[in-house]
Structure 1
Amino acid sequence: MAKLILTHEVTGLGAPGDVVDVKDGYARNYLVPRGLATAWTKGAEKEVTAIRRARKAREIETLEEARAVRDSLQGNPVTVSAKSGDAGRLFGAITTAEIADAVKAAGGPSIDRRKIEIAQPIKATGEYTVQVRLHAEVSAKLTVTVVAA
């Protein structure tokens, strides 16, 4: 087992700053090469506190605030435009960063792209629903309409 410090959120494993034990292969082949985690050392405790402080500054503080953001997101669908070809097929796929930018452009709250979960890749025009994790106990379903540019 390898002991690691997460530097980014990993679904099903933990949040930035968490110290986790994972199998050696998972650490060596996935988490460390992608920059999602670093090896745990005694001197890394300072890094952990810095990561936690930065996360706390970005995070939605209270449950009530998270619920208010959820209601705002669910009540206001967003539109993303992308280049498309025949029959509405896109050249590429819609990314979480594009969705986060569309929410901000529509006057919504600033949300972290890593908190957006797309169930199936969005590769055609139409209307889609994506999940946004706002808080440990609150998530929102955001309606995204994809139109041809």
Structure 2
Amino acid sequence: MKVLLLQDVYKLGHAGDIKKVADGYGRNYLIPQKFAVLATPSAIKQIDSIKKQADSIRSQLNTEMQSLSEKISNSWIAFPCKAGETGKLYGSITTQMIADAISAKIGATIDKRQIDAQPIRTLGEHKVSVRLTVDVIPSFTVITHREGEKPVVEETTEA
């Protein structure tokens, strides 16, 4: 099924793109959520206006999220955990826990679906990315350490 995207869809494309998708994905998700319409000749005539509108919205969002991105990329979060002798955690640090902690630290709401990471199950430093918009994806450090110990924060200097 060919669809014309009306909005940016993560891992699929930008607004105004014509994409070939599975029938069920288009019929059950993209079209009912108003993310896309069928790529008919009349819909294809509207590509230019859709792209212009989406570009202006995208640039406005990117400028708004830039200051938030700077706050996130300059931060780190430490989680005290119980762990075995090999450094494997008893349990895991989930994306919900990471989202709650970073939201409290920077003072803005971050949803767990914006966090690009698997659950953390080992001690140490882990790089985690936050998808604020399609183009703005800052990353920060999550440090897991044993309960009762101080977290070891390595200051990284980037060139």
What interval of TM-score do these two structures reach, taking the shorter chain for normalisation? Answer: 0.5 to 0.7
Picking from 132, 136, 139, the partner of 1:138 is 136
Whether the 8 Å CA contact 1:129–1:142 is kept in 2: the answer is yes
Q: How many residues are aligned here?
A: 119
The TM-score, its normalising length taken from structure 1, stands at: 0.60
The TM-score, its normalising length taken from structure 2, stands at: 0.57
Whether the 8 Å CA contact 2:79–2:144 is kept in 1: the answer is yes
Match of 1:114 in 2: 113
1:68 is the counterpart of 2:67: yes
Distance 2:20 2:70 in 1: 36
Give structure 1 stretches of 5+ with no counterpart. Answer: 4-8, 32-36, 50-60
Distance 1:40 1:64 in 2: 27
The 1:22–1:83 alpha-carbon spacing in structure 2 relative to 1, beyond 3 Å, is farther
RMSD (CA atoms): 3.6
What displacement does 1:69 show? 0.7
Give structure 2 stretches of 5+ with no counterpart. Answer: 36-59, 148-159
**Structure possessing the higher radius of gyration over alpha carbons:** 2
Identity of aligned residues (%): 32
Whether the 8 Å CA contact 2:95–2:119 is kept in 1: the answer is no
Q: What is the DSSP-based 3-state SS (H/G/I as helix, E as strand, rest coil) of the residue aligned with 1:87?
A: coil
Distance 2:73 2:30 in 1: 39
Which has a greater percent of strand? 1
